[in-house]
């Protein structure tokens, strides 16, 4: 069998590297550790796409630019969005004998081995960059949601449509009518969802919105006012805009006040990260270690993460130690001074069935982390940067959300799988 060429040899053969570049990269690798390809990237000798193409050539794999519309739904549905994001691996084509899988690295084979054991199919790998795979996963599973929406023949009640919009943290949502047709829509991290509305939605809106539309929009072609959506006690302040002509009307709602003030204080992550967090939350697998730089940022932002990243109506509780100043800023429970009592205190919260829990406790994380996760299906546990993550991984957490304050008031957010 012919000896496999190195990345350096492959890239030199195509004129992308010189012998001197390779020597400098090897010196960098010796000094800093890691892979040779990481040294090439750190020194700026190649781009990520060039390195990925070189790795694909080294392993005789196709390097692809996958498109969501070309993915076989039967293949993609073999895995959950959480599994796909955690492993950066997605099945893209399935036959009776083989399963084609796009992966970030041909070296990390755990996910491929798992798919082979699960399906008993021959696995054929293709390579793509990590960012392209993440975007593909978001598009594929968003497409599945859209397909379900289109197949649903029964119109929604307006309350149900508003609930779906607010649960995904939509920054804007609305109602449109044309003739006898009416539908609700909302912006889900850049993807606009649309659902038909049942015929009595106008009476429903009069009950949900205070002040009701009749006080501002009756007989008007356009209007704007601030109000509150009250869904069985869950109140969301909104800005309302209204347009009408002889063919139909438009309502636009934007959540305001508390969330807007928080967003000024804590700028939101990129839409791609927001989309992944919400995707994980809806799948019931949203359990995160949260780290902050500087460390005070983590303490400051943690109790606000449910409101910033998810639906404001989700019931959340902030669990903290007695010295945390942020306890006054969110619905919270202060733990007793004795850490020996923390597990029993956390056990009592399970009966309340909270949607989200944020936890800011210190010391002996392995003694309380697992119990804290039982409080809610979505959990954010603050974790010191210098503390081993293994207790979190052993407790069932698979994601790390890191937030760093940089120049000015800008925040850099990263979301990565947590490794044991």
Q: What is the CATH number of the domain that holds 358?
A: 3.40.50.300
Distances (CA, A) of 322 to 300, 337, 339, 366: 15, 7, 11, 20
| Residues 84 and 171 placed together within one structural domain of the fold | no
Same domain flag for 383 and 273: yes
Helical spans, DSSP H, in 126-284: 130-151, 158-167, 201-208, 258-265, 271-282
51 lies in the same domain as 178: no
What is the four-CA torsion angle of 71, 75, 76, 82, rounded to 10 degrees?
Answer: -150
**Residue from 338, 337, 373 nearest 358 by CA:** 373
Residue 65 tokens, joined: 């630019």
Domain, as residue range, for 249 = 155-256
**Which of 87, 118, 146 finishes a domain?**
146
**pLDDT at residue 219, rounded to an integer:** 87
Are both 290 and 382 inside the same structural domain? yes
pTM above 0.85, yes or no: no
User: How many C-beta neighbours within 10 Å does residue 186 have?
Assistant: 23
Residue 361 CA to its chain's centroid (Å)? 24
360 and 298 in a single domain? The answer is: yes
Domain presence at residue 198: yes
Q: Based on the domain organization, do 395 and 265 belong to the same domain? A: yes
Does 285 share its domain with 397?
yes
Tell me if 1 is assigned to some domain.
no
Residue 364 in any domain: the answer is: yes
pLDDT of residue 1: 40
Per-residue pLDDT of the chain (420 residues; tens, 9 = 90+): 456 678 788 788 777 788 888 898 889 888 888 888 888 888 888 877 777 777 767 777 777 777 777 788 888 888 888 888 888 899 988 888 889 899 888 877 888 888 988 888 898 888 888 888 888 888 888 765 554 555 555 788 999 999 888 877 788 899 999 888 899 998 876 667 888 998 889 999 999 999 999 999 888 989 999 999 988 777 888 999 999 988 889 999 998 866 667 778 888 898 788 888 888 887 777 899 999 999 889 999 999 999 888 876 678 889 888 667 776 777 888 888 887 888 888 888 888 888 899 999 877 777 778 888 888 889 999 998 888 888 888 888 889 999 999 887 789 999 998 876
| Overall number of domains in the chain | 4
Position 98 in a domain? yes
**Residues 249 and 264 reside in one and the same domain:** no
Quick one: tokens of 232? 């069985």
Pair 85, 54 in one domain: no
């Amino acid at each position: 069998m012919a000896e496999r060429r190195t990345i350096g040899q492959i890239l030199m053969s195509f004129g992308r590297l010189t012998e001197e570049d390779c020597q400098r990269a090897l010196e960098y690798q010796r000094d800093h550790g890691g892979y040779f390809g990481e040294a090439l990237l750190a020194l700026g000798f190649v781009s990520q796409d060039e390195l990925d193409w070189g790795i694909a050539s080294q392993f005789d794999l196709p390097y692809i630019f996958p498109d969501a519309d070309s993915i076989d739904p039967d293949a993609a549905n073999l895995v959950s969005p959480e599994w796909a994001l955690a492993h950066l691996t997605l099945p893209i084509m399935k036959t009776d004998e083989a399963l084609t899988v796009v992966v970030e690295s041909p070296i990390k084979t755990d996910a491929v081995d798992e798919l082979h054991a699960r399906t008993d199919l021959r696995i054929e790998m293709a390579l793509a960059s990590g960012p392209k795979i993440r975007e593909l996963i978001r598009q594929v599973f968003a497409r599945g949601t859209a397909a379900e929406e289109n197949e649903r023949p029964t119109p929604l009640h307006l309350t149900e449509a508003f609930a779906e919009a607010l649960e995904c943290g939509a920054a804007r949502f609305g109602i449109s009518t044309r003739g006898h047709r009416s539908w609700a829509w909302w912006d889900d991290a850049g993807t606009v969802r649309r659902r038909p509305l049942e015929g009595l939605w106008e009476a429903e809106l009069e009950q949900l919105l205070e002040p009701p539309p009749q006080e501002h929009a009756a007989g008007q072609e356009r209007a704007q006012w601030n109000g509150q959506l009250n869904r069985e006690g869950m109140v969301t302040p909104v800005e309302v805009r209204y347009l009408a002509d002889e063919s139909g009307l438009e309502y636009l709602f934007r959540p305001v006040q508390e969330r807007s003030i928080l967003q000024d204080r804590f700028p939101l992550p990129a839409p791609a990260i927001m989309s992944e967090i919400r995707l994980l939350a809806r799948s019931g697998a949203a359990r995160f270690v949260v780290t902050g730089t500087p460390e005070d940022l983590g303490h400051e932002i943690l109790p606000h993460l449910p409101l910033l990243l998810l639906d404001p109506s989700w019931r959340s509780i902030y669990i903290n130690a007695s010295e945390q100043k942020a306890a006054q800023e969110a619905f919270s429970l202060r733990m007793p001074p004795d850490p020996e009592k923390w597990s029993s205190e956390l056990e009592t919260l399970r009966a309340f069935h909270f949607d989200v829990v944020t936890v800011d406790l210190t010391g002996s994380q392995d003694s309380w982390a697992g119990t804290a996760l039982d409080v809610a299906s979505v959990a954010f546990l603050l974790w010191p940067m210098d503390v081993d993550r293994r207790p979190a991984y052993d407790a069932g957490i698979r994601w790390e959300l890191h937030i760093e304050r940089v120049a000015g008031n800008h925040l850099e957010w990263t979301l990565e799988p947590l490794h044991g």
